[in-house]
Amino acid sequence: MIYQPFSPLEPSAIADFLDFHDSNFTQTALSPAQVQQAAHLSEAIGWPEQRWQVYRSALGVLGFGQWLQDCAPELNVEAALGSISLSQPAAAHWISAACNVRVGDFRLCLLAVGSMPDETVNIPAAALVLPEWSAHFYVLVEVLEEQDQVAVTGFLTYDTYRQQQARQPLPMTADGSYELPLSWFQADPEALLLQLRCLDSAAIALPTAPTLPLPDPAAVRQTLMALQDPFLQPLGHLLSGTEILTLLHTPALLSWAYERAIAPQSSAQPAARPAAAIPSLINVAHWLERQLDEVAATLGWVLLPSPGLAAWRSLRSEFAPIRTALAEQGLDIPTGASGAYRELRWSDGSARLYALTWLLTAQAETAEWTLLIVLERSPHPRSSRLTLTVRDETQPLFEQALDAQGAIYTQVIGEVGERFWVTVAASDNTVFEMPPFGFEINAELGPE
């Protein structure tokens, strides 16, 4: 017998019987392989508290998919974990709801709930406000983790939500979610099945634009940049509700924030770096056409102006010493080169990070490009040590520290398709992470 502590506090043995949990007819068991799959998915999450939520959510998705497979196999279910929000580490890092679950023509958002009865359902505001996160059906999936069982306990359609919200407007909570009354949900899984099978998707209109005014992404980025190593906390501690929405609505920004969030872990375990499914890359191919790519622009990089422009002359005076110093080291920057820079600021100092790029050979298949990184710090009385690190997909390539005023540089060479990650760390625990630099021809600029 498995021993459970016998509590003499139990009022009477009879009352014990009432605390059985009773699932409805949709109760479905998960196989050990499915549980493992859910646990593996959650491994990619950098933040411990969130791992459990994502794990539970993944159990809900797999269980829901199994239930549909058993009772309505003719429905085309893409509940396998590929396309949903849980599979995108940058999103799942903060949002544990499983959005973008596709069943036939419908989009579903699955909300995992536990065995504890509650009068409200917590749902991230993004799932109700942002078009790309919204769903025709919001489905409550009860996850009994201990027994690997899942049941469908209720659902809410988007149009019903809009009607209810209009009648009884709910405020957004501080952490960017809504607490919807359980009574808004219909506790009839058969009705859900009927609609999934027979309803025209046109019956439920989804928003085509965010239903709330959102702050500008650049402003949100500023807010985040002003914070130091903050990202192991829930988003609600860092940003307001609508700022969170902007973050989730802007993939490049989300990706950048995510890279920052996982940076402390990644320095400890470089091999365990999860691949961000949302493509984020600073594509320097654009720079050679005197254009800043979208990702870099979002992150505050400034393109070095072409010679001849007024701006160049002032910048040239700043960059000139660097250029001279490099030339003395035997490194000449060709006239065809292009580049950009960004400012870095932390508690007790500031620096400027330059990235310059040019092609070494121009043949399409074997094109080689180079990236020159220069880190130049401003003078400051009490400044912490600054460390520049560059690595490629598999290993670190360069690491050097800069204590006082001055500059350090490094140059890497890569083929088309290769990527390099650049990190700048200040010894007050500030880490500047950014998406990798790459050279891609005809690649999509960032997500969407």
> Does position 259 bind other proteins by CB under 8 A?
no
Site for other proteins contains 144 (CB under 8 A): yes
- Residue 155 or 369 with smaller CB distance to other proteins: 155
Min separation Cβ 231 and other proteins, Å:
18
14 or 364, CB closer to other proteins?
A: 14
Which of these ranges, 8-16, 338-346, 370-378, 439-447, lies near other proteins under the rule CB under 8 A? 8-16
Q: How far is CA 418 from the centre of its chain?
A: 22
Contact 244, 235 (CB under 8 A): yes
Q: Are 135 and 108 in contact (CB under 8 A)?
A: yes
Q: Which part of the chain contacts other proteins (CB under 8 A), choosing from 113-121, 261-269, 275-283, 395-403?
A: 113-121
Query: How far is the C-alpha of 408 from the C-alpha of 400, rounded, in Å?
Result: 8
Residue 98 · residue 110 · CB < 8 Å? yes
Stretch that binds other proteins, among 93-101, 109-117, 322-330, 423-431 (CB under 8 A): 109-117
Contacts of 144 (CB under 8 A, 6+ apart): 21, 23, 114, 115, 150, 151
Q: Tell me, by CB under 8 A, how many residues bind other proteins.
A: 73
Q: Which is nearer to other proteins, 64 or 409 (CB)?
A: 64
Alpha-helix runs per DSSP H in 215-346: 217-225, 241-249, 251-268, 294-298, 310-328
Shortest distance in whole angstroms from residue 230 CB to other proteins: 19
Pairwise CA distance, residues 377 & 404, whole Å: 8
Residues with Cβ within 8 Å of 136's Cβ and at least 6 positions away in sequence, in order, are 106, 107, 108, 157, 158, 201, 204, 206
By beta-carbon proximity to other proteins, the closer residue of 189 and 435 is 189
Question: Binding other proteins by CB under 8 A: which of 153, 157, 383, 389?
Answer: 157
Residues counted in the chain: 448
Q: Are 126 and 248 in contact (CB under 8 A)?
A: yes
Report H helices in 44-157: 48-71, 89-92, 126-129
Can residue 73 be called a binding residue for other proteins (CB under 8 A)?
yes
- The secondary structure element, H or E, covering residue 43 is helix 32-43
Q: In the complex, what is the shortest distance from the CB of residue 322 to other proteins, in angstroms, rounded to a whole number?
A: 45
Compute the least distance from the CB of residue 157 to other proteins, in Å.
Answer: 7
Tokens encoding 366: 């074997």
Least distance from other proteins to the Cβ atom of residue 167, Å = 17
| Structure tokens belonging to residue 224 | 């985040």
When the beta carbons of 123 and 252 are compared against other proteins, the nearer one is 123
Q: Does 17 bind other proteins (CB under 8 A)?
A: yes
Question: For residue 175, what are its two tokens?
Answer: 């952490």
**Dihedral (CA of 166, 172, 176, 181) sign:** negative
Site for other proteins in 26-65 (CB under 8 A): 27, 29, 32-33, 35-36, 38-40, 42-43, 48-49, 51-52, 55
Record the tokens describing residue 42, joined without a space.
């959650």
Angle between helices 217-225 and 251-268 (to 10 degrees): 20
CB of 233 to other proteins, least distance (A): 14
Q: Determine, following the binding rule CB under 8 A, whether residue 268 of this chain makes contact with other proteins.
A: no
Q: Which is nearer to other proteins, 199 or 325 (CB)?
A: 199
Instruction: State the Cα–Cα distance between residues 410 and 165, nearest whole angstrom.
Output: 56
Closer to other proteins by Cβ: residue 160 or 427: 160
Contact call for residue 14 and other proteins (CB under 8 A): yes
* CA gap 387, 396 in Å, rounded: 13
**In angstroms, what is the minimal distance from the CB of 32 to other proteins?**
5
Binding mask 185-224 for other proteins (x = CB under 8 A): -xxx-xx-xxx-xxxx-xxx--------------------
Per-residue mark of binding to other proteins, 173-192 (x: CB under 8 A):
-------------xxx-xx-
Smallest separation (angstroms) from other proteins to the CB of 8:
6
25 is a contact residue toward other proteins (CB under 8 A): yes
